[in-house]
């Protein structure tokens, strides 16, 4: 088992990576401070892994909340449902929430934990590539609003992240590929060696080789942990993790949450950010082509929806959380393995790119 640490002083926590961790009762129980537990999951993941998790917690008093699957379910209505179930179950401040699922479940569970009785413990048990390499680490919790993705939330760190690689064996290929977009992001924004490793290990990743997946997940989690430790609340360098997300979130909000998977929207967003960087003479065309080729190898989209033009994009981008003093801010790659925060993008240039 690989163990990493997110160093945040009194809020530090471990990330465990291995196969079969759902059956490791000692690992789970050591991060739970009372007998009260509530597991939040969805109707796709729960039939697959709920029993294994509950068997590992056989000595605990367990409730569960099962939400419908999908990005559209990361809503205020479902947040209220979790609150109501916790209150009806007489859960106190010593209750621990466990997020069993992908990014949607992790985000809404974390936000519920941050708010219930002003803050209770929670544990991330991510079951998708996207959540294992990105969203489960770092304490960003939120729900969506029709006018913007992740606009209602809090920075709230889990007590542990338990990554059971074996859960990826049941992941649909489209979901797996969408998660790889976030993996590729790490290579583009700050790790050229990792990007090259990804180019060389496409077949192993697609085949689901455990050693390949374990190394891939560990590399991403270590990068995320280092950045979060340096900038927990995104006052500076952590914004680089939003590479592709300014465009991507606009696509998700405009098209309707769930029609484009998050990773698919980020894939297109990274290509658009790279094209913007090329137009500003910040990035070589050859690097853009490498980015496009690696994303294409995992059948990820490179082109924005046909029914989205400049007006649709700019409407959502003006609500982006990175904007300061009314100026649009973008994360732009300047080379494979290098990126920057840039607020010199004019709307005229943006319109040309879109």
Supply the residues annotated as catalytic: 118, 140, 182, 224, 234, 238, 242, 245, 249, 262
Q: Are 15 and 225 in contact (CB under 8 A)?
A: yes
Q: Are 159 and 124 in contact (CB under 8 A)?
A: no
CA–CA gap between residue 287 and residue 245 (Å, rounded): 19
CA–CA gap between residue 60 and residue 30 (Å, rounded): 12
Q: What is the DSSP string of 189-258?
A: HH-HHHHHHHHH-HHHHHTT-HHHHHHHHHHHHHHHHHHHHH-TT-SSGGGGGGTTHHHHHHHHHHH-BT
Q: Look up tokens 């209602």; give the residue.
A: 152
The DSSP symbol for 54 reads H
Q: Quick one: the chain helix, strand, coil %, rounded to 5?
A: 50, 20, 30
Neighbours of 131 (CB within 10 A): 26
């Amino acid at each position: 088992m690989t163990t990493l640490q997110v160093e945040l002083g009194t809020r530090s926590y471990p990330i465990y990576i291995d196969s079969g961790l759902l059956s490791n009762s000692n690992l789970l129980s050591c991060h739970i401070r009372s007998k009260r537990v509530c597991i939040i999951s969805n109707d796709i993941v729960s039939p697959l892994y709920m029993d294994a998790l509950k068997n590992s917690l056989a000595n605990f008093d367990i409730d569960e909340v099962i939400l419908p699957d999908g990005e559209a379910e990361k809503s205020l209505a479902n947040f209220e449902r979790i609150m109501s179930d916790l209150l009806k179950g007489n859960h106190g401040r010593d209750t621990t929430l466990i997020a069993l699922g992908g990014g949607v479940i992790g985000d809404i569970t974390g936000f519920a934990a941050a708010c219930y009785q002003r803050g209770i413990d929670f544990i991330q048990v991510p079951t998708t590539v996207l959540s294992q390499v990105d969203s489960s680490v770092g304490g960003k919790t939120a729900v969506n609003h029709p006018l913007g993705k992740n606009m209602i939330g809090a920075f709230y760190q889990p007590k542990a992240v338990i990554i059971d690689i074996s859960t990826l064996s049941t992941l649909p290929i489209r979901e797996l590929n969408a998660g790889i977009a976030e993996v590729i992001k790490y290579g583009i924004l700050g790790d050229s060696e990792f990007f090259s490793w990804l180019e060389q290990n496409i077949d192993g990743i697609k085949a689901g080789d455990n050693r390949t997946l374990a190394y891939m997940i560990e590399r991403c989690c270590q990068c995320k942990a280092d950045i979060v430790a340096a900038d927990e609340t995104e006052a500076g360098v952590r914004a680089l993790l939003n590479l592709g997300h300014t465009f991507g979130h606009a696509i998700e909000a405009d098209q309707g949450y769930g029609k484009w998977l998050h990773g698919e929207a980020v894939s297109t967003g990274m290509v658009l950010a790279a094209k913007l960087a090329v137009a500003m003479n910040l990035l070589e065309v050859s690097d853009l082509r490498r980015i496009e080729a690696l994303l294409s190898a995992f059948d990820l989209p490179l082109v924005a929806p046909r029914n989205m033009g400049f007006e649709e994009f700019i409407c959502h981008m003006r609500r982006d959380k990175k904007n300061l003093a009314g100026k649009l801010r973008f994360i732009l790659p300047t080379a494979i393995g290098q990126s920057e925060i840039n607020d010199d993008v004019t709307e005229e240039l943006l319109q040309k790119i879109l």
